[in-house]
């Protein structure tokens, strides 16, 4: 089946555009970048449809590392979980590549942007296809690198480079946990291959599996932006909007969820680790949703929404509903990619404006963008029969089955989600226009991907029954549907939409009055609970200042440079003294020869007298 072609095709696109793209026309760059991803999608679809994925299909290419008991093979494997991820990554990736033609048309570094997108696709597909933890880790680190490159794409702007650095550094914390997990897995299992590790998991001590599960969770918290490592993702909006859609909504940030679900055999025997995942997930979902209530940057609203929705996926995985978590991963890719691409269309229409307070009335000026974004907004609000309803309720039912309080917090979060997403919709598209530009609809090359994603957001949950498809991968959870609970969660979403309409359409001044009435709380939420400032004061400043005072001034300058400079100074002093002997005066040399001869004779005489 040659699975290696799936990631190799985008890699070829990266190499060709990256090395020679400066000389190419934009049309040729587009053909290479989009063609490679489209071919990757076609080959992945061929593999998914052509293989019997009831059992995993594995291809072994070569032995990568052989050292004592450690053997790491470069293997790719496909099962039904991989199939879902392949379709999401290549399908959504292809649409975002097409959209980028219009969005990036007037930007510098055009070839570089598409080369980086292709490189990201290569690493993400490597991560998904990996048959062992180390190959997965290569893809894991690779998407982190691409995230850094794409977030900091506008490298001449300090806020973009700072955001790229922040994403890279914060993710290293999670990656350290992942690395420790791999060491501990090899120590106790003697292998890093998924088949060997997961096949032995049932017979290992619970305490060991809990440690492994918690370390893997740390890695997932970094990559999937969960508390306390979520802070990089909102700042990642500094990158171009297609980057926000591809990396920080639809694919890369879901890597942690995928890795956790892939490791279900470990987690199912480590209930404490699963509880930790569920608690972190629900805390992240609620916490990020509250911040989203007060943001005015349209991309920041959807960024905190992404953090919150990833929390939902963690709740699903932590409650043992692995298929529900992956189900929401897929539907979230549809509607969140659409929200980000739609916001990019709005920004494009307003010549770079991102502040919701400078928008309004756009539904009459960019009608197609408005209609498609409405589909995404209804889907994320969990209103039937749109896609988000099916996956969100599958998670909430599993949460209620595990612990009813998880369900109620999740339902309240669903209401807040509906509120802040429709707040953004109403501020952008309803009322009077408050901006200064002349809005214009985006070109067709941007609108066609929006239309396809709108169809998927509307009907994807009904068309793609992921939990049934993944029945052969994960243990089945027999949770009967509860119409009462499903009705309550739907009503929460409708209540959020109604409140947003009441405060921003029916009574536009109501929101400002409410904010004034709870000014302290509003200020706290608007400033994102001052988490970045707290991290800066508690972690960043002590590390930076301590590094300067201790490592630089004392260790580097005082000890290392002091020792090196001291040796140099002493050598210079000795050399200066010896230089005096080389005066160039013949009479001086003769005197020194005479003096030396006398010293030698006296020494010999003394030595003879002693004998």
Look at residue 349 and tell me if it is in a domain. Answer: yes
User: To 10 degrees, what angle do helices 206-223 and 271-292 make?
Assistant: 20
Same domain, 371 and 499: yes
* Close Cβ partners of 49 (under 8 Å, ≥ 6 residues apart): none
pLDDT score of 611 more than 70:
no
* Pair (389, 435) in one structural domain: yes
Residue 90 has pLDDT above 80, yes or no: yes
Statement to judge: residues 499 and 531 lie in one domain: no
Q: Alpha-carbon distance 394 to 390, whole Å?
A: 6
In a domain, 398, yes or no: yes
Q: Is 239 within a domain?
A: no
Tokens 């400043």: give the residue: 541
End-to-end C-alpha distance for the chain, whole angstroms: 95
Q: Are residues 508 and 550 in the same domain?
A: no
45 domain residue, yes or no: no
Please, are residues 380 and 331 in contact by the beta-carbon 8 Å criterion? no
Does residue 108 belong to any structural domain of this protein?
no
pTM, to two decimals: 0.91
Give the DSSP H or E segment for 591. helix 586-610
Residue 37 pLDDT class (50, 70, 90 cuts):
very high
Confidence band, pLDDT 50/70/90 cuts, at residue 270: very high
Does the residue 48 lie in any domain? Answer: no
Q: Indicate if 532 and 441 belong to the same structural domain.
A: no
Residue whose token pair is 């300090």: 158
Instruction: Give the domain extent around 480.
Output: 289-518
Which of 455, 488, 518 is the endpoint of a domain? 518
- Looking at the structure, do residues 315 and 406 belong to the same domain, yes or no? yes
**Whether residue 418 is found in the same domain as residue 550:** no
Query: Which residue, of 487, 518, 549, is where some domain finishes?
Result: 518
Residue 525: predicted pLDDT: 94
Q: How many structural domains is the chain composed of?
A: 2
Structure confidence at residue 552 (pLDDT): 77
Based on the domain organization, do 531 and 471 belong to the same domain?
A: no
Helices (H) and strands (E) in the chain — how many of each? 27, 2
Same domain, 434 and 539: no
Q: What is the pLDDT of residue 575?
A: 77
Residues 426 and 390 in one domain: yes
The predicted structure's pLDDT at residue 581: 65
> What pLDDT does 595 receive?
81
pLDDT higher than threshold 90 for residue 381: yes
Whether residue 415 lies inside any domain: the answer is yes
- Report if residue 295 sits inside a domain: yes
The answer to whether residues 433 and 537 belong to one domain is no
CA 196, 330, 493, 286 torsion-angle sign: positive
What does the pLDDT look like over 479-536, one tens digit per residue? 888 999 999 999 999 999 999 999 999 998 899 899 889 999 999 999 999 999 999 9
DSSP 56-78: -EEEEEEEEEEETTEEEEEEEEE
Each residue's pLDDT tens digit, 172-206: 999 999 999 999 999 999 999 999 999 999 999 99
Regarding whether 492 and 532 lie in a shared domain, the answer is: no
Confidence of residue 588 (pLDDT cuts 50, 70, 90): confident
Q: Measured between alpha carbons, how far is 147 from 143 in angstroms, rounded to an integer?
A: 6
List the beta bridge partners of residue 60: 75
Question: pLDDT tens-digit profile of 389-398?
Answer: 999 999 999 9
Mean pLDDT across the chain, nearest whole number? 92
- Does the structure show a pLDDT above 70 at 610? no
> What is the per-residue pLDDT across 522-556, written as a single tens digit (0 to 9) for each?
999 999 999 999 999 998 889 888 888 887 778 88
Rounded to a whole number of angstroms, the CA Rg of the chain reads 31
């Amino acid at each position: 089946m040659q699975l290696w072609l799936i990631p190799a095709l985008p890699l070829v696109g990266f190499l060709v555009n990256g090395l020679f793209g400066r000389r190419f026309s934009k049309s040729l760059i587009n053909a290479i970048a989009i063609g490679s991803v489209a071919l990757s999608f076609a080959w992945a679809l061929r593999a998914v449809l052509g293989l019997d994925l009831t059992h995993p299909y594995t291809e072994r290419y070569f032995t990568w590392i052989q050292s004592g008991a450690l053997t790491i093979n470069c293997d790719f494997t496909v099962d039904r979980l991989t199939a879902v991820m392949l379709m999401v990554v290549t399908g959504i990736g292809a649409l975002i590549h097409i959209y980028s033609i219009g969005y990036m048309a007037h930007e510098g570094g055009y070839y570089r942007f598409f080369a980086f997108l292709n490189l990201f696709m290569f690493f993400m597909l490597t991560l998904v296809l990996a048959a062992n933890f180390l190959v997965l880790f290569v893809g894991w680190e690779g998407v982190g690198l691409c995230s850094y490159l794409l977030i900091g794409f506008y490298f001449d702007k300090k806020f973009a480079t700072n955001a790229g650095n922040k994403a890279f550094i914060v993710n290293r914390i999670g990656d350290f946990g992942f690395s420790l997990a791999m060491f501990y897995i090899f120590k106790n299992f003697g292998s890093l291959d998924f088949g060997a590790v997961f096949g032995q998991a049932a017979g290992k001590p619970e305490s060991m599996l809990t440690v492994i599960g918690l370390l893997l969770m740390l890695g997932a918290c970094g990559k999937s932006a969960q508390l306390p490592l979520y802070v990089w993702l909102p700042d990642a909006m500094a990158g171009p909007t297609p980057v926000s859609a591809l990396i920080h909504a639809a694919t890369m940030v879901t890597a942690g969820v995928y890795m956790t679900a892939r490791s279900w055999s470990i987690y199912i025997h480590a209930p404490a680790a699963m509880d930790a995942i569920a608690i972190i997930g629900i805390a992240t979902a609620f916490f990020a949703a509250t911040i989203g209530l007060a943001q005015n940057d349209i991309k920041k609203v959807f960024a905190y929404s992404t953090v919150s929705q990833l929390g939902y996926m963690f709740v699903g995985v932590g409650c043992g509903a692995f298929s529900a978590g992956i189900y929401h991963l897929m539907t979230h890719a549809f509607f969140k990619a659409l929200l980000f691409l739609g916001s990019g269309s709005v920004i494009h229409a307003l010549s770079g404006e991102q502040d919701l307070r400078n928008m309004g009335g756009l539904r009459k000026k960019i009608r197609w963008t408005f209609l498609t974004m409405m589909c995404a907004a209804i889907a994320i609000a969990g209103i039937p029969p749109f896609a988000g309803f099916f996956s969100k309720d599958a998670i909430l039912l599993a949460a209620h089955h595990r612990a009813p309080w998880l369900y109620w917090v999740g339902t309240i979060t669903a209401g807040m989600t509906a509120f802040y997403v429709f707040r953004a919709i109403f501020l952008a598209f309803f009322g009077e226009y408050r901006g200064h530009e002349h809005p214009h609809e985006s070109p067709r090359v941007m609108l066609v991907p929006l239309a396809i994603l709108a169809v998927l957001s509307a009907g994807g949950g009904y068309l793609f029954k992921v939990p049934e498809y993944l029945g052969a991968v994960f243990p089945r959870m027999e949770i009967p549907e509860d119409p009462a609970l499903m009705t309550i969660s739907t009503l929460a979403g409708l209540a959020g939409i109604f409140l947003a309409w009441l405060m921003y359409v029916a009574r536009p001044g109501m929101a400002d009055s409410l904010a004034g009435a709870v000014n302290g709380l509003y200020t706290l939420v608007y400033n994102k609970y001052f988490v970045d400032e707290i991290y800066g004061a508690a972690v960043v400043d002590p590390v930076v200042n301590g590094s300067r005072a201790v490592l630089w001034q004392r260790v580097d300058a005082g000890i290392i440079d002091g020792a090196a400079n001291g040796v140099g100074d002493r050598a210079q002093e000795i050399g200066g003294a010896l230089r005096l002997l080389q005066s160039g005066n013949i009479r001086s040399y003769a005197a020194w020869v005479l003096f030396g001869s006398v010293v030698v004779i006296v020494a010999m005489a003394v030595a003879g007298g002693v004998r």
